[in-house]
Amino acid sequence: MIRPFRPSDRQALLEITVRAFDGVSLDQNIEERFGEIAGANWQGRKTRHIEADIAVEPQGILVYESDGAVVGFVSTRTNYQTLIGWIPNLAVHPDHQGKGIGKELLAAALQRLRKNGMLFARIETLEQNSRCLAFYPAMGFQEIGRQVHYIRPL
C-alpha cells in the first residue's frame, strides 16, 4: 500500500536507503577511491540526501508499506517555475525488490507531479545501476544526456 510519508517513517527510509543504494551510490564510489572523508562514510552522506528530501518537501515523499512495515519510498520535488518535477530518490528494500513495488512507487510519484502541474518529470541514475538503466526507459523516460562526475583531493 502506498501512502504519504509520516515523520515516524524517517528511520525506515534511512535504513532502506543504505541497503538499496549499496553498489549504486556516487558517495560509495568516492569512498571506494579515497576512503571515508571527514569522518563520514558513504552511508552517512547518502542518508543526508534523504534528510534533505524530508526537510525540503516532506509532502512529496510516498512510502510503500507491506504488513505494517515501510519497504520502499520515492521522493519528489516540484518546481513551479520550470514545471519540471524531480524524483531525487527511489528505493526499495532489497528483500522486496522484483515484486513491482518500485514500479508502483514511480507511477504514484509521476501522478503526484502531474497533479501538481508539472509538465515533465526527471530522474537520474548511475551508469553502473543496470537495473535502473532498463527500468526507467521501460517506464517511459528518455535518456537526454550523460554526466561525468569528477573528484580530486584539495
State residue 27's pLDDT score.
95
pLDDT single digits (tens) 21-58: 999 999 999 999 999 999 999 999 999 999 999 999 99
* 123: Cα within 13 Å, side-chain hemisphere: 23
State residue 4's pLDDT score.
98
State residue 3's pLDDT score.
98
Longest dimension (CA), the chain: 48
How far lies 143's CA from each of 10, 16, 123, in Å? 31, 26, 10
State residue 127's pLDDT score.
94
Q: Which CATH class is domain 2-138?
A: alpha beta
Under DSSP, is residue 48 helix (H, G, I), strand (E, B) or coil?
A: helix
Domain ranges of the chain: 2-138
State residue 29's pLDDT score.
96
State residue 100's pLDDT score.
97
- According to DSSP, the residues that pair with 102 across neighbouring strands are none
d(CA 2, CA 4): 7
State residue 75's pLDDT score.
98
State residue 73's pLDDT score.
98
State residue 150's pLDDT score.
95
Contact 76, 123 (CB under 8 A): no
**Segments in the chain below pLDDT 70:** none
Q: pTM score, two decimals? A: 0.95
Burial class from Cβ neighbours inside 10 Å (0-12, 13-18, 19+) for residue 104 reads middle
State the chain's mean pLDDT as an integer: 97
State residue 26's pLDDT score.
95
- According to DSSP, the residues that pair with 121 across neighbouring strands are 85
